[in-house]
Amino acid sequence: MATKKFNKKEFIREVKANVKALYRKNLEEATQQQLFQAVSYAVKDEIIENWLATQEQYEKDDPKYVYYMSMEFLMGRALGNNMINLTIYDDVKEALEEIGLDINVIEDQEPDAALGNGGLGRLAACFLDSLATLGYPAYGCGIRYRYGMFKQKIEDGYQVEVPDNWLKDGNPFELRRPEYAKEVKFGGYVRVEYDEKTGRNYYKQEGYQSVRAVPYDFPIVGYNNNIVNTLRIWDAEAISEFQLDSFDKGDYRKAVEQENLARNIVEVLYPNDNHYAGKELRLKQQYFFISASVQEAVAKYKKNHDDIRKFYEKATFQLNDTHPTVAVAELMRILLDEEGLTWDEAWEVTSKTCAYTNHTIMAEALEKWPIELFSRLLPRVYQIIEEINRRFVAQIEAKYPGDFEKVRKMAIIFDGQVKMAHLAIAAGYSVNGVAQLHTEILKHQELKDFYEMMPEKFNNKTNGITQRRFLLHGNPLLASWITDHIGDEWITDLPQLSKLKVYVDDPKAQQEFMNIKYQNKVRLAKYIQEHNGIEVDPRSIFDVQVKRLHEYKRQLLNILHVMYLYNQIKDHPEMDFYPRTFIFGAKAAAGYRRAKLTIKLINSVADVINNDASIKNKLKVVFIEDYRVSNAEWIFAAADVSEQISTASKEASGTGNMKFMLNGAPTLGTMDGANVEIVEEVGKENAFIFGLSADEVINYEQNGGYHPENIFNSDQDIRRVLMQLINGEYAPDDPERFREIYDSLLNTKSSDRADTYFILADFRSYADAQKRVEEAYRDEAGWAKMAMLNTACSGKFTSDRTIQQYVDEIWHLKKETVKVK
């Protein structure tokens, strides 16, 4: 590969010059944060050449682009990843050492770019990494939130949300691009004008408010290939530089409103995962970044193409869940009202451009906007959706004459609501789920009617993760051990890891592998000591559940089981018990009361157990504060056991499961989401599977017959644990504190079915699986083999594979190569 040679001297000179230019300081005077900035600007300099070369090459080749449209990009830190992908990490490390700087300390200054909640946002980030690495022309399109995902503090065991002012020290990697600013209009009304010459109606939005969308570009560095793609995220500014409508001239009130609109629109990321809150501002955010992105995609195309009817040959929009689906109507609007296409022409372009990914079957995540709100905010876009709906309903009626049920279930506008998923499916050329099981559930349950009407649109794309961040950067010891044994091709060809299989029975390899795990556990133990003040023993089993806090993910099952183990140990102090450290990390949506109470429960149980000297450190419980991408990299590297215990059918895929597997932690999980495929790859004997199947869960949900109170009455261990929720065992100051959780499991008073997520149903089989974990761990060689096999069999779960499938089966892009001069 013709990558430019790294020049250490030059790099050091540049770091020093940056410190001087930016802060008027020399190295010794600069703070670590200032040094981070100086180093980042020097690394950015390494990127810029490639970025220019890539754009030049694309310009020349005129390729088709994918626009990955997403409300969320959970990027994490950029510096380390950029150095890794430029293959200058070790060089920079050396250079910094020479001037007395520690690369880890420098990296640690960078705030995470936390422009996302969880799985969906992190997937988008992994996809950008893979697109650049595989050489596919792509833009990420999103929002430059002033405040990303909140920072989590734990105070008195409770989650406290602290604003994430991630831009406060400046962001060295971003580039403001005012030359690409766009106007985005909200509200007002639509005036129709008939033009006699053309015989057409023209639609004009008037009396609106608008904001100026200004893009910021982030480089997305491909691994060792000179390619640098772009993540383009939009900021909002007051419109001042645009002329107000003559109609509005001098309207001071309106000018102030437009200021406020701009200020509010990109202020903050909504902290909901798998949940739709239906707030007006959220719809504004959606239309804001979509309108700007679609305008830009069309403008880019028109720069060197005349026929807008061929737009889809050069652009495809992947809609990351329903949040960006308004793109369908916005593209129609531009094609109809600004480009003058007929409806049929515009529809052909749109339906060949848009594709939709579904990320959840959780009913509470379904986006439906009240007509009143939608049409008031986006009057012209709403008209277009009405027409799309009218035509779609006619199609349904033609296919199923007289079957009003079908219309009721499938219409885009129904019961006073605009249903965004229906719009995306009706208009898109592809609908995909994110794991085999999830796609099957979509086809045969959630989206059954749509699948029956248009089966050709449906397909599966099992998620993946980037090994560059989650192994090469996050676990350098294991990465170099792997490279020593099988070479370094795994970095861009993960299935190569299967070559490790020849080592799984080799005692020396086993020992080395487990020793690396141990060192990573020491690193995490140190982090926990520093951040939580809890001492954990790296020789204990690190049993980890890190992910967003949600009832369906069942952190509650995990902590109830810990309470059960604690009872056992207290009752039988002589019992043989392999020491365990249960590690949790999870943010709860700020308004999700029960999830927040679960965090309090975990911390309360931790307090009691960690301070009980009588159990001789057999059990420890740790809740890691502010779980995020940067500390996740260390956590995955240090895990022995990967807890993936969602109620079967509820976790669309999961991606954390894959990161654990890659780092050699077997899955303790249900047959849900991508766990199914993980087990397929590694073999059932190298995972710990338990619980109801998706079919069993769905069957209970549809036909009833589940009675958690019977389990409560007949199983005294479970009953005892549940009673401890309400007898003050973990809340002596307020025994009623956890009543809500107790009630959620047993009480049918509320409208919900008791134990919605089948925790009691799965408890025993979970406890048994945990027992099997302990037995397996005692067998050192056996465990080492199992851990190594997990790494060796994780090749399928690279996002490089996922992206290649999107390219081959949905987007049809051509690979680019870039040489630097």
Task: Mention every residue, 6+ apart, whose C-beta is less than 8 A from residue 516.
Answer: 475, 477, 478, 481
Minimum CB distance to ligand 8GP, residue 121 (Å):
7
Q: Which of 353, 462, 655, 798 is catalytic?
A: 655
Whole-angstrom Cα distance, residue 320 to residue 353?
A: 14
The three-point CA angle 516-520-523 to 5° equals: 140
Residue 212 or residue 659: which is nearer to ligand 8GP going by CB?
659
815 is catalytic: no
3-class DSSP assignment, residue 175: strand
Determine the Cα–Cα distance for residues 216 and 740; give it in Å rounded to an integer: 45
Distance CA 158, CA 734 (A): 14
DSSP 506-545: -HHHHHHHHHHHHHHHHHHHHHHHHHH-----TTSEEEEE
Among this protein's residues, is 547 annotated catalytic?
A: yes
Count other C-beta atoms under 10 Å from residue 423's C-beta.
Answer: 26
The burial class, CB within 10 Å (0-12 / 13-18 / 19+), for 224 is middle
Q: Give one DSSP letter per residue of 75-97, joined into a string.
A: EE-SHHHHHHHTT-HHHHHHHHH
Nearer to ligand 8GP by Cβ, of 205 and 274: the residue is 274
Q: Rank residues 449 and 672 by Cβ distance to ligand 8GP and give the closer one.
A: 672
Q: Which is nearer to ligand 8GP, 42 or 652 (CB)?
A: 652
Residue closer to ligand 8GP (CB basis): 510 or 655: 655
Side chain identity at 129, as an amino acid letter?
Answer: D
Residue 794 CA, chain-centre distance (Å), reads 20
Q: C-beta of 544: minimal distance to ligand 8GP in Å?
A: 17
Spell out the alpha helix ranges (H) of 404-554: 404-410, 420-427, 436-441, 448-453, 467, 476-486, 507-532
Tokens of 787: 């851990």
Q: Which of 182, 659, 737, 796 is catalytic?
A: 659
Residue nearest to ligand 8GP as judged by C-beta position: 119
Do residues 542 and 581 touch, judged by C-beta distance below 8 A? yes
CB of 120 to ligand 8GP, least distance (A): 3
Pairing of strands 667-669, 688-689: parallel
Q: How far is the CB of 714 from ligand 8GP (least distance, A)?
A: 33
Catalytic residue (choose from 122, 461, 548, 785): 548
* Least Cβ distance, residue 214 to ligand 8GP (angstroms): 25
Crossing angle of helices 759-778 and 555-571, in 10° steps, is 60
Candidates 144, 212, 333, 359; catalytic one: 359
Which has the closest alpha carbon to 332: 407, 391, 254? 391
DSSP state of 111: P
Q: How far is the CB of 784 from ligand 8GP (least distance, A)?
A: 29
**Residue 272 Cβ vs ligand 8GP, minimum distance, rounded to whole Å:** 6
CA-to-CA dists, residue 312 to 65, 146, 197, 308, 348, angstroms: 10, 33, 29, 9, 9
Indicate if 655 belongs to the active site. yes
Q: Strand, coil or helix: what is 192?
A: strand
**Shortest distance in whole angstroms from residue 122 CB to ligand 8GP:** 8
Alpha helices (runs of H) in 305-342, residue ranges in sequence order: 326-333
Neighbours of 191 (CB within 10 A): 11
When the beta carbons of 42 and 290 are compared against ligand 8GP, the nearer one is 290
Distance CA 381, CA 280 (A): 15
Instruction: Compute the least distance from the CB of residue 663 to ligand 8GP, in Å.
Output: 17
- Beta carbon nearer to ligand 8GP, 423 or 562: 423
Q: Does residue 659 have an active-site annotation?
A: yes
420/597 with CB nearer ligand 8GP: 420
Residue with smaller CB distance to ligand 8GP, 272 or 318: 272
Close Cβ partners of 10 (under 8 Å, ≥ 6 residues apart): none
Residue 199 in tokens:
């015989």
Note the Cα 218 to chain centre separation in Å: 18
- Minimum CB separation from ligand 8GP for residue 85, in Å? 22
Q: Measured from the CB atom, is 295 or 655 closer to ligand 8GP?
A: 655
- Among 325, 327, 188, 323, which residue's Cα sits nearest to residue 261? 188
Provide the residue type at 503 as one letter.
Answer: Y
Rounded to whole angstroms, the Cα distance separating 126 from 555 reads 25
Token pair in block for residue 501: 């299989």
CB of 352 to ligand 8GP, least distance (A): 24
Nearer to ligand 8GP, 301 or 369 (CB): 369
- Pair 606, 53: CB distance under 8 Å: no
Binding site for ligand 8GP (CB under 6 A): 117-120, 123, 272-274, 321, 359-360, 365, 434, 463, 651-655, 673
Q: What is the 3-state secondary structure (H, E, C) of 678-724?
A: HHHHHCHHHCEECCCCHHHHHHHHHHCCCCHHHHHHHCHHHHHHHHC
Query: What angle (nearest 5°) sits at the alpha carbon of residue 34, between those of residues 33 and 38?
Result: 120
Question: What is the total residue count of the chain?
Answer: 821
Of 547, 587, 628, 650, which residue is the catalytic one? 547
Beta bridge pairs of residue 214: 235
DSSP one-letter code for 212: E
Least distance between ligand 8GP and beta carbon 362 (Å): 7
- Phi/psi at 357 (5° precision): -110, 130
Of 212, 443, 457, 553, catalytic: 553
When the beta carbons of 276 and 623 are compared against ligand 8GP, the nearer one is 276
310 is catalytic: no
Is 553 an active-site residue?
yes
Distance of CA 166 to the CA centre of its chain: 18
Q: Closer to ligand 8GP at the Cβ: 654 or 708?
A: 654
- Least Å distance, CB 652 to ligand 8GP, is 4
Type and span of the H or E element at 502: none
Residues belonging to the active site: 359, 547-548, 553, 655, 659
